[in-house]
Amino acid sequence: MALPNPQPSFDAPIPGQALVAELGSRPWQQPAQYSTIEEAVDFYIAKMSSDEAAVQIEDILEMGVSVADLAHIIQLSNVMEGVHSIDVGVMATPVLIEFIMLIGDSADIKYKTGLEDDNKAIEKTLINRAMKKFKAEEDKKSAEPVEVTDEPQGETKDEKINQLTGLMARRI
């Protein structure tokens, strides 16, 4: 159990301190190292083709991280390091996804792609919910007693007469 600190710490960062860094002091505020997609793709392919990187990627895939998430994390971390801009990163992500899949396939790993449509899952739950509601209503209806009336069902005699309006119709 942590004891309460009797004296307040004055060394802690001031709230918002991270936002007041000098302009240009962060890597992403500098011109990107690679400004074109070709350069960025070359950088990634060269980096990920090494055995060390491939083994690391295989480990991560085996942990259950989806390919799309991994590609996103890789490109985002490189944006933070000032390797390329965000737009170049987004454009390079499909190549990263495909290359990570290639690494996963070559290592015979059953990986999650992360490309599955979330809407399908939502649709399924909505359908299940609607079916449940429908079933409950059906059960409720079947449980209610049916009212028995003395009036004969079907068409009355007057209605039948009104229907026979043709010339050749038999008169009653």
**Residues near another protein (CB under 8 A):** 37-38, 41, 66, 68-69, 71-72, 75, 90-99, 101-102, 105-106, 108, 114-115, 117-118
* Residue 45 Cβ vs another protein, minimum distance, rounded to whole Å: 9
For another protein, give the closer residue by CB, 98 or 138: 98
**109-114-116 Cα angle (round to 5):** 115
For another protein, give the closer residue by CB, 60 or 101: 101
CA 96 to CA 69: how far, in whole Å?
11
For another protein, give the closer residue by CB, 124 or 160: 124
Residues 27, 80 contacting (CB under 8 angstroms): yes
* Residue 27 Cβ vs another protein, minimum distance, rounded to whole Å: 21
Q: 3-state class of 141 per DSSP?
A: helix
Tell me which DSSP letter residue 14 carries: P
* Residue 47 Cβ vs another protein, minimum distance, rounded to whole Å: 15
Q: Cβ of 69: how many Cβ atoms within 10 Å?
A: 13
